[in-house]
Chains A and B, each alone.
Chain A
């Protein structure tokens, strides 16, 4: 997506097309010769994995939509008929349900990489913000899709989450009624969730295009956090990045296949095989695993309104990382203190995830409050101060200096294509 294409087609048809719509040139410059830092590790493959998962979710989802019925009386049984009577319906559904979980595995890995290597810093702020928007869109889409099969926990999750809007002072209740399309979560709610669950993935595709566009404007970050300067620092996207991404997509699919074929219900809640019953509340309402840390933050705060604000802030604050983090050094590899605090931050999120799955009582609440406090203190206090006081390790002058033995004459890898 860079401005100048070096693409010179030999084929007359392609020459004809290129003068009218330079799409082949766009692909050539964006995904063939596009320079990518030579020192990227496997954490950098999750972007490709996410693109792959988005495609897989859309393909399985579109076929599932052909067999699903969005009606409170029919939804549960239509999903069961997919499992029993549609050819390979069980495979489509387990792929889609576990695929959603693995989509989140990949996006969390992607976010961890971004935070560890400071990928959000100048000049990648817009790229990062688009990423946070993508994550928010994923959260909303995933949640609405989760509700569709209309099992017990799904109905009650929809009730709990839509009810969060009632915390808005003054207009909360009318907003909730408007969201429901009625006076309780019911058929209109299910219908609009279905409609939006089908719509939002296409919005995600649009933002992904912007995300990749922004990426190709500023180039990829890398484990040193030092910008690529010369040709020696980079290799061509194809074949180097493509084959590496393809390999790791294969590894990722192995993990996905383990869940889909051998433990397809491991990540789900058994209550979801009970048809939704508005007259009976489950003992403990828990969301899917990938929302648990945020659910724990919500419940850690005694006031409902503040809890909702904290829940939102926990995600939205991430968009402000480029300015909350005052350090000029990107990579945590050269920031010993930041590295420790960041790892504790990641562990705190995992801890919050565990606490989100437990009943909100006794020690669990206290632990959740401690970890929630750390979550926000890290983002709002530690990050800004650390950049001012931390002594960082000396940075290499270039990527090639960091990874190549002294005096190495690089074969001009980029030119090999």
Chain B
């Protein structure tokens, strides 16, 4: 078979050329953060309100000192599919924050306790102030941070992720950063002054000082007060902040699948019936 041979030769040639060419490029793989178990993974995953409440506590006591979360409102804390604080609890949380309001009748801006409709107030009045207070780096806003971070898994893993519904690169990455500090840095790694060594940060030199240490935030529900647990809880909380409709999405998705499978099944059998005589003509 002439055709087959030429095809085989062409294919083998192309494959070997490409493979040879690609090899050096694969050498410089960075280490990806390890995968964690998340309650919101998979088709039936939902947020764990307890975990989100703990995560919120960490955000409030630690992260919010430097990181804004401008797109999340206090009312969201009481939304279904979220941390599920009661409305009075959320209102109480809101009133413990001071927000800038105004201008009033005298034309002045003023501070007042937050209300449910208010958004989380930023720790700095503007990016310049934030940069100035943080050694030249602006702490990123945390509203959609869990969807704004990720890492390449490379071929063929990205294909498998399509089927396993792996969508948690963001929280895995944040958990990795929070647990990836190494002090002193490993041998051979040099870290500029004002930077810290972090195993999972691209380039390894991160401006944020190690934010969490064991026992730093008090848990009242018996959950271990470890950096690893803190990192998991706050990553889950940030995933909720970034994707507050995840529970609703997956629930509706299941209903849509049931509907589509039934509809498509019926259409399949209708098609079979309609086409039967075309595919099975009577033989004269």
Give me the interface of A with B, judged by CB distance under 8 Å: 38, 77, 80-81, 83-84, 90-91, 94, 235, 239-240, 243-244, 246-247, 250-251, 253-254, 257, 260-266, 270-271, 273-274, 336-337, 340-341, 343-344, 347-348, 351, 354, 358-359, 361-364, 366-367, 370-371, 374, 404-405, 407-411, 413, 416
Q: Which of chain B's residues 235-269 have a Cβ closer than 8 Å to chain A?
A: 242, 244-245, 248-250, 252-254, 256-257, 260-261, 263-264, 267-268
Q: Looking at A265, A343, A354, which has the most chain B CB atoms within 10 Å of its CB?
A: A265
Query: Is B189 engaged at the interface, CB distance under 8 Å to the other chain?
Result: no
Give, as a whole number of angstroms, the nearest-CB distance from A125 to chain B. Answer: 28
Cβ–Cβ contact A364 & B22, under 8 A: yes
Q: Provide a sorted-by-A list of 16 A–B residue pairs whose CB atoms are within 8 angstroms.
A: A91-B252, A243-B270, A247-B264, A261-B256, A262-B253, A263-B161, A264-B167, A273-B144, A274-B148, A340-B4, A340-B6, A361-B25, A362-B25, A367-B18, A374-B14, A411-B282
Q: Say if the beta carbon of B169 comes within 8 Å of chain A.
A: yes
**Interface 0/1 of B97-134, CB less than 8 Å to A:** 00000000000000000000000000000000000000
Q: Mark interface residues in B1-37 (1 if CB within 8 Å of A CB, else 0).
A: 0011011001100100110111111000000000000
Contact A91–B249 (Cβ < 8 Å): yes
| Distance of B160 from chain A, by nearest CB (Å) | 12
What 7 A-B pairs are tightest by C-beta distance, nearest first?
A261-B253, A250-B264, A273-B148, A363-B21, A340-B7, A270-B150, A247-B267
Most buried by B among A90, A262, A344, A351: A262
Residues of chain B touching chain A, judged by Cβ–Cβ distance below 8 Å, are 3-4, 6-7, 10-11, 14, 17-18, 20-25, 43, 71, 76, 140, 143-145, 147-150, 155, 161-162, 165-167, 169-170, 242, 244-245, 248-250, 252-254, 256-257, 260-261, 263-264, 267-268, 270-271, 274-275, 277-278, 281-284
Q: A243 and B3 in contact (CB under 8 A), knowing A344-B10, A408-B281, A411-B277?
A: no
Q: How far is the CA of A176 from the CA of B24 in the complex (A)?
A: 37
Q: Flag if A254 contacts B264 (CB, 8 Å).
A: yes
From B10, B11, B248, B278, A240 is in contact (CB under 8 Å) with B278
Residues in B whose Cβ lies below 8 Å from that of A271: 148
Q: In the complex, A254→B261 CA distance in Å?
A: 8
A273 and B242 contacting across the interface, CB-CB below 8 Å: yes
Given A247-B264, A253-B260, A273-B147 in contact, is the A344-B283 Cβ separation under 8 Å? no
CB-contact partner of A407 in B11, B148, B284, under 8 A: B284
B22 touches A367 (CB 8 A): yes
Tell me if B14 and A363 are in contact (CB < 8 A).
no
Cα(A366)–Cα(B24), bound, Å = 12
Q: In whole Å, how far is B203's beta carbon from the nearest beta carbon of chain A?
A: 10
Query: Are B10 and A250 in touch, CB under 8 angstroms?
Result: no
Interchain CB contact (< 8 A) of B282 among A343, A363, A409: A409
Interface SS of chain B: helix, strand, loop or mixed? helix
Instruction: Report A-chain residues with C-beta under 8 Å of the C-beta of B249.
Output: 90-91, 94, 261, 264
Cα-based distance from A84 to B14 in the complex (angstroms): 48
Q: Is the CB of B278 within 8 A of A367?
A: no
Q: Which residues of A contact B148 (CB under 8 A)?
A: 270-271, 273-274
Question: Would you give the shortest CB distance from A224 to chain B, in whole angstroms?
Answer: 16
A408 touches B284 (CB 8 A): yes
User: Is B18 touching A83 in the complex (CB atoms < 8 A)?
Assistant: no
Q: A250-B267, A273-B144 are in contact. Are A84 and B3 (CB under 8 A)?
A: no
Q: Is A243 a contact of B267 with CB atoms below 8 Å? A: yes
A80 near B143: Cβ-Cβ < 8 Å: yes
Decide if A413 touches B277 in the complex (CB within 8 Å): yes
Minimum C-beta distance from B243 to chain A (A): 8
Residues in chain A near residue B270, CB distance under 8 A = 243, 247
CA of A404 to CA of B271, assembled, Å = 19
Q: Within 8 Å CB of B21, what residues of A? A: 362-364, 366-367, 370
A84 and B250 contacting across the interface, CB-CB below 8 Å: no
Evaluate contact between B250 and A367: CB separation under 8 angstroms. no
- Complex interface: chain A residues within 8 A of B256 (CB): 257, 261
In the bound complex, residues from chain A placing their C-beta under 8 Å from that of B166 are: 263
Q: Measured between alpha carbons, how far is A343 from B8 in the docked complex, in Å? A: 12
Residues of B within 8 A of A90 (CB): 245, 248-249
Tell me whether B257 and A257 are in contact (CB under 8 A).
yes
Q: Which residues of A contact B76 (CB under 8 A)?
A: 84
The distance in angstroms between the C-alpha atoms of A244 and B23, with both chains bound, is 46
Contact of B250 among A262, A351, A363, A407 (CB under 8 A): A262
Among B242, B271, B283: residue with most chain A CB under 10 A: B271
